[in-house]
Structure 1
Amino acid sequence: MPTRPLALVTGASSGIGTVFARALAARGYDLLLVARDGARLRVLAAELATTGASATPVVADLTTDAGLAVTEEAITRAGRLDLLVNNAGFGTKGQLVDSPLQLQDQMLRLHVIAVNRITCAALQPMKPARRGGIITVSSVASFINSTGNVNYCATKAYQRSFSEGLALECGPLGIRVQALCPGFTHTEFHQRMADDQQGRAPEWMWLSADDVVQSSLRQLEAGGATICIPGAQYKVAVFLARHLPLWVKGLMTRNVYKRD
């Protein structure tokens, strides 16, 4: 019988996903590491092995049915799962009308279909065990409507709403559910977004990936609220986003970035 809990992290090859993997290994978890980049996954698995964790790379493109099937099979083969971290995601910039349709379809598949499919697979061993946790990395963007980010904001709002509903279903089963809603975080993801725009959000708006992950895990372990918003500045921003008129929020999001 395995003595260490098992976690699955999607998008584990970089950014917040890698930080989640390291933090969970430090907490005594074994890991299933899911991403497209097999070379990076193998390097991370070797690193985590030095801490005593068993880390298994699962190379899968979650925008495809084949990649989802590989991930679902990994859960079935393990026969158990204590924590799922739905972290895989990407962003685009530019008006929807000018954005490649294939890219928008991939975003919908990754942020919506993949989250639903993998969560359903994770619940299969969690439900009879009557324990477990599911963290879905949404975004502060889920609370706003931003020009140039239409589908990103919309799909992140789906993830947040999905998590809130799932928490109601899973609470009586002993399964904790969280929607993690970070703002700008120092990762490759947000660096690419900033570079693409030839600008950068003000420094006070940036969070460290370590702080984001630790806030998430502490809140989940304490049985805290379903929505986790790291950083006081983003708690204020979300409060305003929930209460200000839509046109005011639109003005705010247009001015998030400044030119260098």
Structure 2
Amino acid sequence: MMDMPEPDLFSLAGRRALITGASRGIGLTLAKGLARYGAEVVLNGRDADSLKAAQAELEKAGHRASIAVFDVTDQDAVIAGVEVIAQQGPIDILINNAGIQRRAPLDQFARKDWDDLISTNLNAVFFVGQAVARHMIPRGKGKIVNICSVQSELARPGIAPYTATKGAVKNLTKGMATDWARHGLQINGLAPGYFATEMNSKLVADEAFTDWLCKRTPAARWGQVEELVGAAVFLSSDASSFVNGHMLMIDGGITASL
């Protein structure tokens, strides 16, 4: 009897992934990473020009990419946008990445900034996750990866409302898995620690903060966004077929030590 080749558990060939907030930063990096492993990617955001530039970059590298312009904080727009994407082909993978940050002392935190954080970091995860799951459930399979944070577990001065949103996304992820795992879906969280991103550019440039971070983190450095790709591919692939409601920390060990 001939030995059969082992399946490539991490291959995303033939699968289609929707990534929110994909015109730059972590979202674009993850889109490129999933595409390298064979996925066709659908880039979402609000700025069509930025998305087109990202699409061109992916296509130049030989990947299949399209764009979907809608506001993830608008539930009606999300439902309509996801319906259009689903009509063009199945959505096998969702990366719920769109997010914002606002920093201020908690006793001075503005209501508008609070509302913006809740709308983008939490409501959008529910809106897009629900809309996509409604298409995945009848097919009996699907992968949803919600981008959480080290702040899903730990607080730091000046960002309590952001911490609240990311803690909520962690537990929403568990709730999604509890409701939808029986339908063949895997819903997990990917939680970056401190990464050198555009959102963190002021912190990266702050020598005192960087010194504190390197002393606080066992790996003694900032993370690089490309280091998130492997975890995203794992959670998007058959390799994680029995992983559900889990939050995978990519943080250089910061949550493992005092």
TM range (shorter): 0.7 to 0.9
Q: Helix, strand or coil for the counterpart of 2:192?
A: coil
Matches of residues 113-128 of structure 1 in structure 2 within 5 Å?
Answer: 113-128=123-138
Q: Helix, strand or coil for the counterpart of 1:11?
A: coil
Larger relative helix fraction: 1
Match of 1:23 in 2: 33
The Cα shift of 1:51 comes to 3.9
Deviates more, 1:62-71 or 1:8-17: 62-71
Match of 2:228 in 1: 212
Q: Helix, strand or coil for the counterpart of 2:102?
A: coil
Query: Cα–Cα, structure 1 residues 220 and 5, in superposed 2: closer, same or farther, change >3 Å?
Result: closer
Amino acid at match of 1:186: A
Distance 1:195 1:100 in 2: 25
| Contact 1:34–1:71 under 8 Å retained in 2 | no
* Greater RCO, 1 or 2 (C-alpha within 8 Å, sep 6+): 2
Query: Cα–Cα, structure 1 residues 41 and 196, in superposed 2: closer, same or farther, change >3 Å?
Result: farther
Match of 2:254 in 1: 234
Distance 1:197 1:39 in 2: 34
RMSD: 2.4
Cα deviations by residue, 1:20-50 (Å, 9 ceiling, x for unpaired): 1101111211121111232221111112123
Counterpart selection for 1:74 from 63, 84, 97 = 84
Deviates more, 1:186-195 or 1:86-95: 186-195
Match of 1:185 in 2: 195
The Cα shift of 1:66 comes to 6.1
Percent identity over the alignment is 27
Query: Cα–Cα, structure 1 residues 78 and 181, in superposed 2: closer, same or farther, change >3 Å?
Result: same
Deviates more, 1:11-20 or 1:59-68: 59-68
The Cα shift of 1:56 comes to 1.7
Distance 1:10 1:82 in 2: 14
Q: Helix, strand or coil for the counterpart of 1:31?
A: strand
Counterpart selection for 1:88 from 98, 117, 128 = 98
| Contact 1:75–1:121 under 8 Å retained in 2 | no
Amino acid at match of 2:213: P
Distance 1:142 1:164 in 2: 13
Match of 2:147 in 1: 137
Counterpart selection for 2:213 from 198, 202, 219 = 202
| Contact 2:143–2:235 under 8 Å retained in 1 | no
Q: Normalised by the size of structure 1, how large is the TM-score?
A: 0.81
Distance 2:184 2:79 in 1: 27
The Cα shift of 1:216 comes to 2.9
Structure 2: state its 5+ residue gaps.
1-12, 215-219
Distance 2:208 2:193 in 1: 19
Q: Helix, strand or coil for the counterpart of 1:106?
A: helix
The Cα shift of 1:126 comes to 0.8
Matches of residues 43-54 of structure 1 in structure 2 within 5 Å?
Answer: 43-54=53-64
Q: How many residue pairs get matched?
A: 236
The Cα shift of 1:89 comes to 0.5
Amino acid at match of 1:113: N
| Contact 1:134–1:176 under 8 Å retained in 2 | yes
Matches of residues 146-161 of structure 1 in structure 2 within 5 Å?
Answer: 146-161=156-171
Distance 1:199 1:49 in 2: 38
Q: Normalised by the size of structure 2, how large is the TM-score?
A: 0.82
Counterpart selection for 2:174 from 151, 164, 180 = 164
